[in-house]
């Protein structure tokens, strides 16, 4: 009662952003899938939709990360950088696969394809850093996604 306006409008509660979780903010949804389809969306624009969403893959299949975006007023790129988080005999800091997709002003969805590395994916857990912008740097990180490769 009778609280000054700045205290009423602004809460002192600060929730830290978790860069080790799935990206938020710009992304309406983001998930791994075995593939994607390009459909005619609600606004008569191309809409990328996931086919067989999963976070568990076979060693011989590419990994798709399919996402839907909130409205944006600028074009940019979405990068996916894949590292072996818990994979036997692989350094967790070694980049295994990467891809980027240019998002135009009218795009509401997209995908990043992580190709099978030479010799196939080794069984274990992988993490994908999701970056947004024109180049990857320390401030372009939006979040982290994880998937698992099961033994063949």
pLDDT of 59 reads 95
More confident residue, 17 or 6: 17
pLDDT digits (tens, 9 = 90+) for 34-91: 999 988 766 667 889 999 999 999 999 999 999 999 999 999 999 999 999 999 999 9
Token digits for 20? 């080790």
pLDDT of 5 reads 67
Q: Where are the alpha helices (DSSP H) in the chain?
A: 5-9
Q: Which residues are CB-neighbours of 17 under 8 A, at least 6 positions away?
A: 24
**Beta strand pairing call for 97-103 and 141-149:** unpaired
Which of 16, 48, 17 lies closest to 143, judged by CA?
Answer: 17
**Beta strand pairing call for 27-40 and 46-53:** antiparallel
């Amino acid at each position: 009662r009778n609280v000054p306006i700045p205290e009423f409008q602004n809460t002192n509660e600060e929730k830290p952003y978790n860069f080790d979780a799935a990206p938020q903010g710009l992304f309406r949804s983001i998930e791994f899938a075995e593939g994607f389809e390009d459909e005619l969306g609600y606004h008569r624009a191309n809409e990328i939709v996931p086919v067989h969403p999963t976070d568990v893959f076979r060693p011989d299949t590419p990994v798709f990360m399919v996402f839907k975006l909130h409205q944006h007023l600028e074009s940019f790129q979405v990068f996916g950088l894949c590292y072996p988080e818990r994979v036997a005999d692989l350094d967790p800091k070694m980049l295994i696969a990467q891809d980027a997709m240019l998002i135009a002003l009218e795009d509401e969805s997209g995908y990043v394809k992580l190709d099978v590395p030479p010799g196939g994916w080794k069984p274990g857990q992988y993490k994908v850093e999701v970056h947004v912008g024109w180049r990857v740097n320390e401030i372009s990180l939006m979040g982290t996604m994880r998937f698992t490769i099961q033994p063949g």
